[in-house]
Amino acid sequence: YQRRVHGVWQNGLKSVDKELETMTDLLSVPCQDAKGKWYRYVLQCYSDSSSAITTGREVFGLPYKVGKPVLDVRYDTVNGTFEYAGLEVAKATMSYKYSKLDNEVAKNIMDIPYATLRFIPDVDGSPLIAQLMAVSGSPKDVSMAYYGPSQIYSLSHVNAPLADFPVQASMGGFHIKATIQHQSDHLIHNYLDK
């Protein structure tokens, strides 16, 4: 699992008003630090929530943009769709409750931290903050976990270039219901250190 490129759709509750928001990390690639620790470096992520976008960008360095991801279950299929600027850009499907996944395995999958580039310019445009940081989404409770066959399809879009990263094969998917809280874990590298 660690060495695979991931497309992730997730539903969550907004911290402010507890309404449902959908976020997606549609492209994260595996990487390792010098000590051999695994991370998922997020190249593209989208949300329909302004609070997730602001917090994701400013606090965690996640490259959030406004988009319309949707995650739902219909009959025997988990569906993930994603629209950007009114056009459908990606579709993903997975068999619903295909094969039970051990909760500890599910926790280990979700426990792999993100590596994010937090870059904030100063008033003159020069870098004020330029950090590679780890963001963990440690699961507190897993109430449901399954894996099964999956497929993903993407269309070319100039401002949501998912199709620029071609899918060679889908290795399967996970459908996990858990309580997760994202938090800054540690600084991997500060690019402004002399």
Residue-wise pLDDT tens digits, 116-125: 888 888 999 9
Read off the tokens for 81.
């769709």
pLDDT, averaged across the chain: 85
What's the predicted TM-score (pTM) here? Answer: 0.81
pLDDT at 162 > cutoff 80? yes
pLDDT at 59 > cutoff 80? no
Candidates 173, 193, 185, 17; CA nearest to 115 is: 185
Distance (Å, whole) CA 152 – CA 169? 9
Distance (Å, whole) CA 120 – CA 141? 34
The half-sphere exposure of 81 on its side-chain side, counting CA atoms within 13 A, is 10
Distance (Å, whole) CA 146 – CA 141? 15
Residue-wise pLDDT tens digits, 72-113: 999 999 999 999 999 999 999 999 999 999 999 988 888 888
